[in-house]
Homo-oligomer: A and B are copies of this chain.
Amino acid sequence: MRTLLANGVDTCFMNPGTSEMQFVSALDRVAGMRAVLCLFEGVCAGAADGFARMTGRPAATLLHLGPGLANGLSNLHNARKARSPVVNIVGQHSTQHLLHDAPLTADIEALARPVSGHVRTVARAADMGREAAAVVEAACAAPGQVATLIVPADFSWSDGGEPAPVQPRRSPSWPPAARIQEAATVLRSGEPTGLLLGGRTLLPAGFEPASHLAAATGARVFGSRNGGRYGRGGGQQSPVRLPYFPEAAEAVLAAMKHLILVESQPPISFFGYPGRRSELAPPDCQFNTLATVEEDGVAALHALAQECGVELGAAPLLPVPQPEWPESSAALTPDAIGRILAHLLPEGAIVSEESVSSGEPILRHLLSAPAHDLLPVTGGSIGQGLPVAVGAAVACPHRKVIALEADGSGMYTPQSLWTMAREQLDVTVVILANRRYRILDIEFRRTGAGEMGPRASEMVDLTRPELDWVKVSEGLGVQAARTATVAEFAERFGAAMRQRGPMLIEAVME
């Protein structure tokens, strides 16, 4: 714990068990570690991801043996795809006990590898500090990754471990000059060219130089769907995020002869479908990598601007027409919610977004809201939105966090609400309740399965019984209200923006 703290890891989202009791015990001897209890490991993992997206530095998890890790894996998958640094600490049986096939014995390293860039099991007590320093260093390897440290219980309860010194933090490397020149040549060619931004270039420090380059050369600026954090709103020239469905994404990219990749990769569709290619750029589009995902794309964009002779002042803000306020008596729709949010979102809000089929109109209107950060689902594993909101709120206690959560996806990690209540996090959860896995109505047809019969339809139906999110939320300690009209939703959401602390609003939609 001393080594973690010395290396800047001061927050731990935990669900400990017997094998992790010594780490818990150290909380009373070592000052400085914020310990946040979660009732399910998927909350720990997603919260560590949200924390990392907002701070750029890792939080720790503390998970109980193989099954505890298993419960965290799907949100660690999302963290991996977001390239978030996470120090993932998993307890293990004592080494003597591991010789036997105890009930909880499982191959923890095998479980960790698919989501981790670094997996180590401590080999002796004396290595505890060194391994703790190494796992932080690995988590912070640019651009960031899940690094897993497995700690046998006997090394936790034995003497002999010493804190390790602080590891020097390496910055992401600069791309070679040749790539800058190649990208400049493409931009100067006059052929239709897009800059596809990813990673840290989706924040103002990256998209502002990109927008200057675009203004000077006629290039377009696109945002990869894989980013973990997008700076948006407030008239900022944030890139056009590629749409979810491949037809729409293909249309956005249709004219491009060149795509310059900046901390991004060639764009592909979310799913494969019958008779459709996975690539979203036109077949004759050529790719140039300006900066790989491991490299410093912001520095690369500055170098590219210099190479192209483009001046980088403050990027001009765009005029932002606010959408019309919806009619008060109207039924709630994603469109109406998006309009209300565009008006009421406070400046500097953090939006954790897992609204699935309701997302498109909301996110479109949110572009007209004041400047905010958007944290979308990166790895497609639903059950991320509420935990990421927990982590973002712990990371940024002075910023309002809004979790836009579909009713289906919210049910994967509802335990997050309890941690919001316990830590009195300033999170407003909006449950977009359409009582259905609505996205699957669309995907069903897209995969060639035709029209849904009654039995298939039951498998995407959430009306029998209806989820009562107000009761679920209150049961977990978070004040809640149900809204079914524009007026009701606007009143509750407005009130939530004016107060602090956790609040859930169930938006029952048509």
Given contacts A111-B111, A379-B67, contact A99 B475 (CB under 8 A): no
Q: Which residues in B have their C-beta under 8 angstroms from that of A98?
A: 272
Chain B residues with Cβ under 8 A from A272's Cβ?
Answer: 93-94, 96-98, 102, 153-154
A174 to chain B, nearest CB (A): 24
Is A207's CB within 8 Å of the partner chain B?
A: no
Distance (whole angstroms) from the CB of A510 to the closest CB of chain B: 22
**Are A412 and B40 closer than 8 Å at their CB atoms?**
yes
B471 touches A475 (CB 8 A): yes
Closest chain-B Cβ to A230's Cβ sits at a distance in Å of 15
A137 CB, min distance to chain B CBs, angstroms: 24
Distance in Å from the Cβ of A165 to the closest Cβ of chain B? 26
Q: Tell me if A325 counts as interface (CB < 8 A to partner B).
A: no
Whether the pair B443, A18 counts as a contact (CB closer than 8 A) is yes
Nearest residue, chain B, Cβ from A272: B97
Interface set, chain A 97-151, CB cutoff 8 A to B: 97-104, 106-107, 110-111, 113-115
B66 close to A449 (CB less than 8 A): no
Query: Within the assembled complex, what's the spacing in Å between the Cα atoms of A99 and B271?
Result: 12
Instruction: Determine if A440 and B278 form an interchain contact, defined as CB atoms under 8 angstroms apart.
Output: no
Segment at the interface with B among A306-314, A364-372, A451-459: A451-459
Say yes or no: A70 contacts B66, CB within 8 Å: no
> In whole Å, how far is A356's beta carbon from the nearest beta carbon of chain B?
11
A193 at the interface (CB under 8 A from B): no
A16 contacts across to B, CB distance below 8 A: 440, 459
Residue of B nearest to A267 (CB): B100
The answer to the question of A42 belonging to the interface, with a C-beta cut-off of 8 Å to chain B, is yes
Closest to A266 in B: B100
Instruction: Please indicate the chain B residues that have their CB under 8 angstroms from the CB of A153 in the complex.
Output: 271-272, 447
A114 in contact with B111 (CB, 8 Å):
yes
Check B73 against A412 for contact (C-beta < 8 Å).
no
* Residues B24 and A459 in contact, CB atoms below 8 Å apart: yes
Taking the complex as formed, is A483 at the interface, i.e. its CB lies under 8 A from any CB of chain B?
A: no
Q: Does A411 contact B (CB under 8 A)?
A: yes
Interface bin, chain A: 35 or more
CA distance A99 to B268 in the complex (A): 11
Among candidates B74, B107, B415, residue contacting A411 with C-beta atoms closer than 8 Å? B415
Known: A154-B272, A467-B475. A81 touches B110 (CB 8 A): no
Asked if A465 contacts B477 (CB within 8 A), the reply is: yes
CA distance A446 to B19 in the complex (A): 11
Contact A73 B111 (CB under 8 A): yes
Cβ–Cβ contact A22 & B93, under 8 A: no
A113: contacting residue among B66, B81, B110, B468, CB under 8 A: B110
Cβ–Cβ contact B24 & A444, under 8 A? yes
Q: Is A476 an interface residue (CB 8 A)?
A: yes
Instruction: Name the B residues within 8 Å of A459 (CB-CB).
Output: 14, 16, 24, 27, 35, 37
With A110-B113, A475-B467 as contacts: A19 and B412 at CB distance below 8 Å: no
Partner of A449, one of B24, B447, B452: B24
Distance (whole angstroms) from the CB of A435 to the closest CB of chain B? 12
Q: A468-B474, A476-B472, A477-B466 are in contact. Are A103 and B225 (CB under 8 A)?
A: yes
A383: CB under 8 A from chain B? yes
Give every chain B residue within 8 A of A77 (Cβ-Cβ).
66-67, 70, 106
In the complex, the answer to whether A27 meets B453 with C-beta atoms within 8 Å is: yes
Of the listed residues A19, A268, A459, the one surrounded by the most CB atoms of chain B closer than 10 A to its CB is: A459
Contact of A421 among B115, B278, B465 (CB under 8 A): B465
Q: A67 contacts B103, CB within 8 Å?
A: no
Query: Cβ of A274 < 8 Å from any Cβ of B?
Result: yes
User: A380: CB under 8 A from chain B?
Assistant: yes
Contact between chains at A110 and B100 (CB < 8 Å): no
Q: Are B114 and A110 in contact (CB under 8 A)?
A: yes
What chain B residues lie within 8 Å of A19 (beta carbons)? 271, 447
Given A96-B272, A472-B471, verify A381-B67 contact (CB < 8 Å).
Answer: yes
Give the chain B neighbours of A5 by CB distance below 8 A.
none
- A27 CA to B444 CA, complexed, in Å: 13
CB of A25 within 8 Å of the partner chain: yes
Nearest-Cβ distance from residue A196 to partner chain B, whole angstroms = 15
**What are 22 residue pairs bridging A and B, where the CB atoms are less than 8 Å apart in the complex?**
A18-B446, A19-B447, A21-B444, A24-B460, A27-B456, A28-B452, A67-B381, A68-B381, A70-B73, A70-B77, A71-B73, A100-B278, A103-B226, A104-B379, A104-B380, A107-B113, A111-B111, A422-B464, A465-B477, A470-B475, A471-B471, A471-B472
The 5 closest A-B pairs by CB, nearest first: A28-B453, A97-B272, A465-B477, A471-B475, A67-B381
Q: Please give 17 more A-B residue pairs, beta carbons under 8 A apart, in addition to A103-B270, A156-B447.
A: A16-B440, A21-B449, A27-B459, A28-B455, A35-B459, A40-B411, A66-B77, A70-B381, A73-B73, A97-B268, A97-B269, A102-B380, A107-B113, A107-B114, A418-B467, A465-B477, A469-B475
